[in-house]
Amino acid sequence: MTTHDDALESLLDTAERWAAEDPDPATAAALRRLMARASGAGDDGGGAGSGGGGDDDGGADASDADGVAAEAAAARRELADAFDGTLEFGTAGLRAALGPGSNRMNRVVVRRAAAGLAAFLLEAATKDPSNTYMPRAVVGYDARWNSDVFAAETAAIFTAAGIDTFLLPAALPTPILAYAVRALDAEAGVMVTASHNPPADNGYKVYLGGRAVEESGRGAQIVAPYDSLIAAKIAAVGPLSSIALAESGWHVLDAHFVSGYGTAIGALAAPAAFPARKLKIVLTPMHGVGGETATDVLAAAGFADVTLVTEQAEPDPEFPTVSFPNPEEPGALDLALAAAASLGADLVLANDPDADRAAAAALDPSTGEWRMLRGDEVGALLGAHVAARRAMLATDGGGGPAAGGVFANSIVSSRLLSRIAAAQGYRHEQTLTGFKWISRVPGLVYGYEEALGYCVAPELVRDKDGISAGLLIAEMAAAAKAAGRTLFDTLDDLSLEHGMHASDQLSVRVDNLALLGTMMAALRQSPPSSFGGSAVEVFTDLAAGSEQLPPTDGLLFLTEDGSRVIIRPSGTEPKLKCYLEVIIDVGGRTDLNAARTRARTALDAVLADVRTALGL
């Protein structure tokens, strides 16, 4: 029978072995401090203090003892979590809090991941049916804590393994890494980033390309079965001491290559078709790495009146002005909106810290207030704009609907894009959540997901790209301004043509991940019969998969009046996410305001029923 003391002793032994081989003295020291606290040998805090009589001293001693015991218990829980299995490598690569332990992001975990990925690439090369080849890989990183270290060690491990390796020259946006995978025809790309996660996190995102993957997936993030194949290679890596790191031999890409991304993205602008450039823009990179690149791209396209939010302009891994460095989070755009109002700006653009997402805000004429557009609203606007651009720029050789092409968005995103695509002569496909799926759609010309991710140039970046999306949003806004209109007027046009598609979300954050499975199981066992007063007509358990979609943990409800509810666990955060959409008929332009009120009322009714179904 294992006792509490035995379990602690085993845990301390595991931690000591880890600390002994950890190449990072900072995490090794942090781990040993945690071990000391867990074993009750932490700092004594200076005793009971001075003064007081015997009874007071006894009370202070008891209080201190309780405090030491509580600290030791907390340290044991933290230590146990740090070694609760091995950080799982999946289709999102790796992402977790920084710190020591097998369940954290650190140099030990990253070295093993790099060695496993190298082994996968080398094995794929030897299996090439025509001839073996020397795999190529490109590595990038953002400005989070340890991103540069993780990237440099990855480059050293790849090089030692015999992989031709390219390292981006500085902390740069994720879209530049995705661009580099395709531009260099590399077999793999690694981006060290945790995107919009809290400051304590970091991650390891993997792309495949070149001869390592099928054509439709070249330059895209990994999907099954590549995740499990790479994970198996990581699991097979021997002792940490067996992983070789080269001292040199990789190529550091120069500034000319980085500017090549900016030139290619800037060339997306279509001044012949959309010449307007009179637009005052406020831009925030949210303490991330996108500010300089986004500003340069906008300037190259003719948008010179761009003001960076001073407090958020420079990379800062602490993200000091926001609770979460995510434009979707309440309050994240407060500084940008205040700057826009002060400057009399026309448009706010925001990127998340690695600049693969884009948000937009403008002055809503119906309320006289600045507001951020929802991801589905920007997704629809960009879809209509991409279709209009392709039609105006079409030549006899192609470029318009006659040349083919597909619009795609994730299943949790609005159905409005499918109606826009059909009206413009494009096919439309739905995918699972995530750009690893959207970017793989054959013939893709435009794709988006509601979480502020947009792919407007899949031939350049087969992933979401907040910088190219921001450029086309600016182009749209300038064209609307030149015509005496706004982005909101364009949204109204889409509502008149296709019906008002209104969406909302409910996110339930949990402390215990097991609760997500419990909640999903309860919904499967007793699914709701109606939402917003409309009976559920279709109930689909997405875990079963279909011809159109691979299996995923999610539930889809369609009601008789066309309302849709999708409930799924988040793939990157401890949340249960609920996506709501209603479609409201609009009687004409004079009915728009009333239709908005009806849509909000309908969403509120559906939202109330979702809360009830979740027991909230």
Q: Which residue has the tokens 């995978």?
A: 181
Dig out the tokens for 536 from the structure.
């559920």
CA distances from 371 to 340, 341, 346, 348 (A): 11, 11, 12, 9
Rounded Cα distance between 216 and 462, Å, is: 9
User: Residues 412, 450: contact at Cβ < 8 Å?
Assistant: yes
Dig out the tokens for 443 from the structure.
């013939």
- Strand pairing report for 136-141 and 188-192: parallel
Residues in contact with 119: Cβ distance below 8 Å, sequence separation at least 6, in sequence order = 161, 233, 236, 237
Neighbour count for residue 81 (Cβ, 10 Å): 14
Residues in contact with 147: Cβ distance below 8 Å, sequence separation at least 6, in sequence order = 141, 171, 192, 193, 202
Dig out the tokens for 65 from the structure.
């003892």
User: Residues 177, 170: contact at Cβ < 8 Å?
Assistant: no
First to last CA, the chain: 40
Rounded Cα distance between 289 and 352, Å, is: 9
Q: Which residues are catalytic?
A: 195
DSSP E strands in 148-239: the ranges are 164-167, 188-192, 201-208, 220-221
> Any idea what DSSP says for residue 213?
S
Query: Inter-axis angle of helices 255-266 and 174-183, to 10 degrees?
Result: 100
Angle at 487 between CA 605 and CA 590, to 5 degrees: 60
Rounded Cα distance between 370 and 362, Å, is: 5
Angle at 498 between CA 496 and CA 504, to 5 degrees: 95
> Any idea what DSSP says for residue 330?
T
Rounded Cα distance between 147 and 144, Å, is: 5
> Any idea what DSSP says for residue 381?
H
CA distances from 373 to 273, 378, 478, 517, 584 (A): 25, 6, 16, 32, 19
CA distances from 179 to 219, 252, 257, 308, 341 (A): 8, 16, 10, 24, 35
User: Hey, is 132 helix, strand or coil?
Assistant: coil
| DSSP-assigned states of every residue in 439-505 | TTSTTEEEEEETTTEEES-TTT-SS--HHHHHHHHHHHHHHHHHTT--HHHHHHHHHHHH-EEEEEE
Q: Which residues are registered as beta bridge partners of 153?
A: none
Rounded Cα distance between 171 and 189, Å, is: 15
